[in-house]
Amino acid sequence: MHDFTSINLSIASIDKEIAIIMERAADLRRVRTKLVEDRRTKRSLLSPLRRLPTEILELIVRASLPDKWLTHGSGRAVFPLAQTCHRLRAITLAMSDLWCNISFFWRLHSEGAPAKFTSYADCLLARARERPIDLTIPEGFHIQFWDTLIDQWVVSHLARFRCIEWCPSSGFKIALDAPLLESLRIMGNEDFYDSHFGGRFSARRFSFDAPKLRRFALRWCGPIFRVAICWSRLQDLEIATISLDEPDMRILESCASLKTLGLNLSSKYASQKMETAAPQLRFDNLRSLTVVDYGHAVCKYIRAPGLVSLALKTGDHVKARPDIHASHVLDMLRGSSPPVLEILVINACGRHIDRTNTIPDYASYFFILACNPALTRLELVYSHGDQACDLEPVLQGLILQPNATALLPNLDHLVLTLGGFTAFTNHDAVLLSQIVQSRWEAACVGGVRPIARLTLHSSVYQCERGVCRCATKGEWQKQLEAWGTVVDRTPCGN
């Protein structure tokens, strides 16, 4: 009897498994039936699609390109549409303008990376046919310097390039012919450059015969006087180096067509080196100026009567009070009258500033604000540092200073960027509410739709995962909307 019981249990178990398998098989049949139907439907749609004119199919291909295709370089993303049929694939490969952005994304320490890059790039060059090429480095992708093989490849195809972001491993004694080149960025590694300054790294020389060149950036690759280009034609210039000597200043003096200028100097002796024979730099066409760290020292030599946007930033090198450079900025603004500045960015929070014995004099910033009555947009940056940054006096100055309403009378947008250990508190919310009430409450008359006048960007270390200490949310924003002001808030991510 025991054997019969065991057999019956085994049969029942097997029957149960068979039932499960049959149910699963039925599910698979239903899925298969649906897939077959989907395939039939898509084929029926694809058939007339194949008969469309090539011009229409090209428009469809452009509308279907993945986002990465546009931001990370040609061929970096899977493009399913090109795999649906032979004609669409052939059309995609034949659209030469889709293959003009070569992006470097290999780690050079990986085995065979230079050879992989040149193989990938040669393929794109062939598909791009005779079109100008852009060679870019993805944002956040740091390269100390490139391999010699890649340098040789870039030089051999330089006549094809319209835009280059380059980390050369050495300089070049001869002039490089680049007839199509419009934008050039020569970049190095900042830490490596600082430790080798005065050696062979800073002795590199670059010479380009590029009549169309209008945008140039030299970042941590030596002094600018070692670069031979047509400086007078440049419209956009960015320089990051240790200091500017007299030959460098003479080159800047020749850049009469500049519309955008960025200066990042890392040496505290930069100002002393320029004292001897620094020329006055007159930029009648300059519209945007960004100065970082000791780049502020150059401002006292600049005259830019048409300047519209000014960014004052403190990075990794200034260890003293950041406001000590404000006098140089004032010299520039007063010497460039009448003031037409519309956008001002102030970041007085350096990464390594010693605040134990020095208290920033924010009155110097008030002087900058006071001499720019046309200012419409003010951006204050609270970021970096191992201590909380305090730009609160500037906020208070917009409402508590004597004749505060006369300070920036045309201001219509205030931007706060929060970072490091500087959280946005309820007290800050009160200050912003007072600013809005005193300046823009009257703008909301007769039910006019509120507009964005405040922007908050937040990335704060103090906000633990899942627990946000930033007062960027709350009922205070609803009150501002009632006064006609919308807060455009970017959360800290928690």
Q: Assign 297 a pLDDT band (cuts: 50, 70, 90).
A: confident
Q: Assign 358 a pLDDT band (cuts: 50, 70, 90).
A: very low
Highest-pLDDT range among 79-93, 131-145, 151-165, 477-491:
151-165
What was the pLDDT predicted at 197? 46
- Cβ proximity of 368 and 328 under 8 Å: no
What was the pLDDT predicted at 444? 57
- Cβ proximity of 307 and 286 under 8 Å: yes
What was the pLDDT predicted at 234? 95
Position 86 pLDDT exceeds 80: yes
Q: What does the pLDDT average to over 429-452?
A: 72
Q: At what angle do helices 113-128 and 148-156 cross, to 10 degrees?
A: 10
Q: What does the pLDDT average to over 176-201?
A: 69
The residue among 487 and 55 whose pLDDT is bigger is 55
Q: Residue 138 contacts by C-beta under 8 Å, 6 or more apart in sequence? A: 72, 73, 103, 104, 105
Q: What does the pLDDT average to over 119-144?
A: 81
> Cβ-count burial of 67 within 10 angstroms (0-12 exposed, 13-18 middle, 19+ buried)?
exposed
Q: Retrieve residue 354's tokens.
A: 């010693």
| Residue-by-residue DSSP string for 466-477 | TB-----SSTHH
Tell me what percent of the residues of the chain surpass a pLDDT of 90.
21
Q: How does DSSP classify residue 31? A: H
The residue among 105 and 151 whose pLDDT is bigger is 151
What was the pLDDT predicted at 291? 92
Position 375 pLDDT exceeds 80: yes
366-383: buried (b, 16+ CB within 10 Å) or exposed (e) per residue? bbbbeebeebebbbbbbb
- Cβ proximity of 175 and 155 under 8 Å: no
Q: How does DSSP classify residue 399? A: T
- Number of C-beta neighbours around residue 84 at 10 A: 14
- Kindly report the pTM of this predicted structure: 0.79
Domain map (residue ranges) of the chain: 2-39
Q: Assign 325 a pLDDT band (cuts: 50, 70, 90).
A: confident
- Cβ proximity of 344 and 308 under 8 Å: no
Q: Which helix (H) or strand (E) holds 102?
A: strand 101-103
What was the pLDDT predicted at 362? 63
| Residue-by-residue DSSP string for 57-69 | HHHHHHHT--HHH
